[in-house]
Amino acid sequence: MKAAFYYNNKDIRLKDIPAPLLEEGDLLIKTVSSGICGSDVMEWYRVPKAPIVLGHEVAGEIVQVGKSVKNFKEGDRIVVSHHVPCNKCEYCKKNLHTACDTLRSTNFDPGGFCEFIRIPSINVLTGTFHLSEEVSFDEGVFVEPLGCVLRSQRVAELKKTDNVLVIGAGISGLLHIKLAVSKGCKRVYATDINEYRLQKAKEFGAEIIMPGKDVVNFLKENLDGKLASQVILCTGSPSALKLSFHCLDRGGVLQLFAPPSPGDSPVIDLNLVWKDQISISTSYGAAPSDLQEAIEIIERKNLVVEDMITHKLPLEEIKKGFQLVSDAQDSLKVVIRP
């Protein structure tokens, strides 16, 4: 089978490798749609692990079933999670499933950017979900990123009464915008250095703050002298992180959704955080319950995702896909179809 091996954002190599062999609790799926995630192009994170087959936003069809698998059969349409918790450790018992050691060590074999994937038994048990005919495979690639966004907003206790500012209007930022708008949040603002993405944010329901604008004063002018009650940071830019704290009203919450590169964290005025009683909410990944909720939201069309897909490419053009995502210009979700 063909698989795309990642070396860096400009070096993706297609290779022929054997299809993985199943154990009795495993599934083999044909990859139909696989999304390129923003984290896939974070070279500081990915290059040390290279060469590697990436791809974790996966939807596909079962082509082989291990003999002990009971709830799935050949031909089933599914979405799968690459990371799954044990549901037994102290973190899982505290509903901190994404802090679980098992979740941080589980994965596909080999990854979503190849023709066939072995789903290990533990992923079959807690990270594999049926996909109804009402949901396309392309829509299915949004289950994992939407699950992450759902978890983040739940942990941060985002409410209808919140005035929200999303900094960074990539896929994660746009999903945060769509979800906040669907919840009926009071005001939803977005800012980014990319005007194309800002226009998309506007299409999806946000009030936009154009590049070069004084974001703090803009908020004050539009919120009767107040600032945002929640800021959702969806970029690893150190300057954006620094800005986040100045955009928060007293008692506000910063959702730290995107990490900076190692060593890039700016000095934060903790006196400001203390004096204004600002809370920092962090969220990593998605638990099975988040993914199930994401599937239901997409299935009911409570949140439309298909309008976020700008490119659909065959595996042979994956290098172009990575370039589009890493350049972060006139593209949103890039879907690879092996």
The residues spanned by each domain of the chain are 2-147+285-337, 157-282
- Give the per-residue pLDDT at 264: 82
Mean pLDDT of 157-178: 98
- Give the per-residue pLDDT at 267: 81
- Give the per-residue pLDDT at 142: 98
Give the architecture (CATH level 2) of 2-147+285-337. Answer: Alpha-Beta Complex (3.90)
Give 238-256 pLDDT, tens digit per residue: 999 999 999 999 999 999 9
Q: Do the domains 2-147+285-337 and 157-282 sit in the same CATH topology, yes or no?
A: no
Mean pLDDT of 89-95: 97
The residue with greater pLDDT, 270 or 81, is 81
**Residue 259 pLDDT > 90:** no
- Give the per-residue pLDDT at 237: 92
Give 181-216 pLDDT, tens digit per residue: 999 999 999 999 999 999 999 999 999 999 999 999
* Secondary-structure class of domain 157-282 per CATH: alpha beta
Give 27-57 pLDDT, tens digit per residue: 999 999 999 999 999 999 999 999 999 999 9
How far apart (Å, rounded) are the C-alpha atoms in residues 307 and 204? 9
CB contact at 8 A, 152 and 180: no
Containing H/E element for 288? helix 288-299
Give 285-310 pLDDT, tens digit per residue: 999 999 999 999 999 999 999 999 99
How far apart (Å, rounded) are the C-alpha atoms in residues 309 and 264? 31
